[in-house]
Structure 1
Amino acid sequence: MNSLEQQFLQEIDTHKGILFKLSKIYMDDILDQEDLYQEMVFQLWRSYGNFKGESKFSTWMYRVALNTALVYVKKDQRKPKTNTINDQVDLPDHSDHAQKEEQLDYFYRAVKELNEVEKAVIFLFLEGLSHREISVQLGISEVNARVKLNRTKDKLQEIIKKQGYEF
């Protein structure tokens, strides 16, 4: 393995949480999430030669991974769907950890009801990006990013309320 490959793998390992979150936000099924994760890594590797280091690796990674996810979702929507049951029934556990897991489950279910742009906005926000950084990633104005984020937050709250759960 050469140093370029080692450097790439080290960067992917450092920032793999980005890819996990994106795949979970955009895909329902665990196998589809794994496929999307692999596709993002593949596209990142294909594009790695074009990474000039003018921005942080994670910034460049966001853009490539988001674009890959959006293209992947569009392709996935054209495939015929098979009926699979992914929901597992667990006995309620009232521990703190179980409550946090339940909250995350409701959150991810709500996020799945958002459109692709709203998913990207909320993902970038959760990653700690500023309005300016979100605008750069999505190619929109900073004001537009702020408005989209506020509307997306409101929409998420409404979806979660409709699900019968409030944080």
Structure 2
Amino acid sequence: MGSDYYNSMILPYAGIIIKVCRAYTNSQEDFEDYYQEVCLQIWRSHSRFKKQCAWTTWIYKIALNVCLTYLKKKQHAPLEFASDSLPEETIQDSKVLSDDSLKSLYRAIHHLSEIDRAIILLYLEEQSNQAIAEIMGITANNVGVRIVRIKQRLSKLMNTGDNNNG
């Protein structure tokens, strides 16, 4: 992969890739593997990008597909983030949540199904229901219903502490 392509077409979207990869990994080693594979797949597939969707949508689709594919190949242990294992930009992006709340949210998200994880991640990235529907291949109405249910589940997990039990 050429550095010009990486610097212009991938690096500006590294935040998206980091957040998607972080949502599907339990260790720094896995995170680095996922991140590298996502970048490689973006580079490999760029010639198939037909501009029928936004570049960010394409990045999300590739990142989610890579992470879901890797997940099927690995068995994951319960998530245990050390406070220094969260990407600094993720911590900075969360102006409302304390470090403990952010870790609790990530643990709760890891208890969701892979699809629900993807939906809530996109929602937290402030993607519209229509954009999420396009990325996930479902209807915007279905996205709205699922977001309500996911929020309820996350609230329950975070309030009862269920997300701390493997």
TM-score normalised per structure 1: 0.80
The code of the aligned residue for 2:26 comes to D
Unaligned 5+ runs, structure 2: 85-94
Superposed CA RMSD: 2.7
C-alpha change, 1:86 and 1:117, in structure 2 (3 Å) is closer
Residue equivalent to 1:68: 66
Unaligned 5+ runs, structure 1: 91-96
Alignment partners' CA distance in 1, 2:52 and 2:83: 48
Alignment partners' CA distance in 1, 2:142 and 2:100: 32
Q: 2:122·2:132 contact (CA, 8 Å) conserved in 1?
A: yes
Residue equivalent to 1:113: 111
C-alpha change, 1:126 and 1:36, in structure 2 (3 Å) is same
Report the 3-state secondary structure (helix = DSSP H, G, I; strand = E; otherwise coil) of the residue aligned with 1:123. helix
Q: 2:38·2:66 contact (CA, 8 Å) conserved in 1?
A: yes
Q: Alignment identity in percent?
A: 33
Aligned length: 152
Alignment partners' CA distance in 2, 1:127 and 1:87: 21
Alignment partners' CA distance in 2, 1:70 and 1:87: 20
Q: Deviations over 1:101-123 (max 9, x none)?
A: 11111111111111100100001
The offset of 1:30, in angstroms, is: 1.4
C-alpha change, 1:119 and 1:86, in structure 2 (3 Å) is closer
**Aligned runs of 1:154-165 on 2, under 5 Å?**
154-163=152-161
Residue equivalent to 1:43: 41
The code of the aligned residue for 2:71 comes to V
Aligned residue among 21, 24, 27 for 2:22: 24
The offset of 1:9, in angstroms, is: 3.1
